[in-house]
């Protein structure tokens, strides 16, 4: 499908971020010459004026909307209002102005946080409306879910070709390792690597270790989004994941092993666990646009740890 991108002007919001940077690299490899990557200092997408100006400047045929206000459980608990408002306004305005401009396609990347707290495992796309999301990240998850409602409504009324992908937690090189806002894998890698370096005898981890999570390597995620952009043109949301689950306890032990940390792991059970289980049914993505994650989990973790040691620790 490389010819698909050749004469297209593509706008990637969040294109300088963790996922976006990998996606833009793959777009270039597919022969896309005209990619716009707006920076938040130039275009605050929460403001309608900036969204209008961005469309005027970029004149896109296709928009891939990755820009989001994101963080782990702690960041979600501290900023529920901001996470709700910023994510809702960015998405709603990007879609509305895209419709006004008559763009060819709009790709929204949603989140597994939109699923109900007690969704049967593996999560099927049809389960998305069967309950309220887990409380700590419900404002974020619901704001993103409104973009699914908007996409379907706009397709019905205006014939607007908007697609919606439900993505699991990502990990990989270039992830956010800031302990104030990072997700679980980079937070644990940092804890273990720092503990080894400092000779610490114990690390403290949030929760009980019982919940399960699914993780998708960032390069696989970028490939999945581009395949969907090329081949998928329907209103139903599609899961994007790796199709496995691992308990937080097993994840901590695996990262400890891969980083060489041999000290004690202390569980702070006063801190929340988040959603009890997370694992997606990924059959539709393979059926609809031929996507299957390729990176084995341990291999992806090793690459992420290497990148952190060389790039972040190496720069200290």
Mean pLDDT across 286-314: 95
Task: Give 267's pLDDT tier (boundaries 50, 70, 90).
Answer: very high
**pLDDT for 113-168, tens place per residue?**
999 999 999 999 999 999 999 998 899 999 999 999 999 999 999 999 999 999 99
Whether the pLDDT of residue 103 is over 90: the answer is yes
Whether the pLDDT of residue 71 is over 80: the answer is no
Q: Which of 55, 140, 232, 261 is catalytic?
A: 140
Task: Report percent pLDDT > 90 for the chain.
Answer: 90
What is the pLDDT, as a whole number, of residue 2? Answer: 58
- Residue 239 pairs with which residues in a beta bridge? 166
Whether the pLDDT of residue 25 is over 60: the answer is yes
Tokens (6 digits) for 301: 């973790």
What is the pLDDT, as a whole number, of residue 316? Answer: 66
- 57-61, 63-67, 77-81, 82-86: segment of lowest average pLDDT: 77-81
2-174+214-245+276-296 maps to which CATH number? Answer: 3.40.50.720
Whether the pLDDT of residue 202 is over 90: the answer is yes
Whether the pLDDT of residue 24 is over 60: the answer is yes
Task: Give 228's pLDDT tier (boundaries 50, 70, 90).
Answer: very high
CB-based contact 140:111 (threshold 8 Å): yes
Domain ranges of the chain: 2-174+214-245+276-296
Task: Assign 10 to helix, strand or coil.
Answer: strand
CB-based contact 15:66 (threshold 8 Å): yes
Whether the pLDDT of residue 313 is over 60: the answer is yes
Mean pLDDT across 4-25: 97
261 catalytic, yes or no? no
Give, to the nearest 10 degrees, the angle between helix 248-259 and helix 297-307.
50
Strand 215-217 and strand 169-171: the pairing is: parallel
DSSP state at residue 308: I
Whether the pLDDT of residue 1 is over 60: the answer is no
């Amino acid at each position: 499908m490389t010819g698909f991108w050749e004469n297209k002007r593509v706008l990637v919001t969040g294109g300088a971020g963790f996922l976006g940077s990998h996606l833009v690299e793959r777009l270039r490899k597919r022969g896309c010459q005209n990619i716009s990557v707006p920076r938040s200092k130039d275009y605050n997408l929460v403001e309608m004026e900036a969204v209008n100006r961005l469309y005027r400047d970029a004149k896109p045929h296709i928009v891939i909307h990755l820009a989001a206000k994101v963080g782990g459980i702690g960041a979600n608990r501290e900023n529920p209002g901001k996470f709700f408002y910023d994510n809702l306004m960015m998405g709603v305005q990007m879609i509305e102005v895209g419709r006004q401009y008559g763009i060819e396609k709009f790709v929204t990347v949603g989140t597994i946080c939109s699923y109900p707290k007690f969704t049967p495992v593996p999560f099927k796309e049809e389960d998305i409306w069967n309950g309220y999301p887990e409380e700590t990240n419900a404002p974020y998850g619901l704001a993103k879910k409104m973009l699914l409602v908007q996409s379907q409504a706009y397709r019905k009324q205006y014939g607007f070709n908007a697609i919606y992908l439900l993505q699991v937690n990502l990990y990989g090189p270039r992830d956010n390792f800031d302990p104030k806002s990072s997700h679980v894998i980079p937070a644990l890698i940092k804890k273990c690597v720092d503990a080894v370096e400092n000779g610490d005898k114990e690390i403290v981890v949030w929760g009980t270790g019982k919940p399960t999570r699914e993780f998708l390597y960032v390069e696989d995620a970028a490939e999945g989004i581009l395949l969907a952009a090329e081949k998928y043109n329907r209103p139903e949301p599609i899961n994007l994941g790796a199709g496995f689950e691992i308990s937080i306890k097993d994840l901590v032990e695996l990262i400890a092993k891969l980083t060489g940390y041999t000290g004690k792991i202390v569980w702070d059970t006063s801190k929340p666990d988040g959603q009890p289980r997370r694992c997606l049914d990924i059959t539709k993505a393979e059926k609809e646009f031929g996507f299957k994650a390729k990176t084995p989990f341990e291999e992806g973790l090793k690459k992420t740890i290497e990148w952190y040691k060389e790039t972040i620790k190496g720069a200290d």
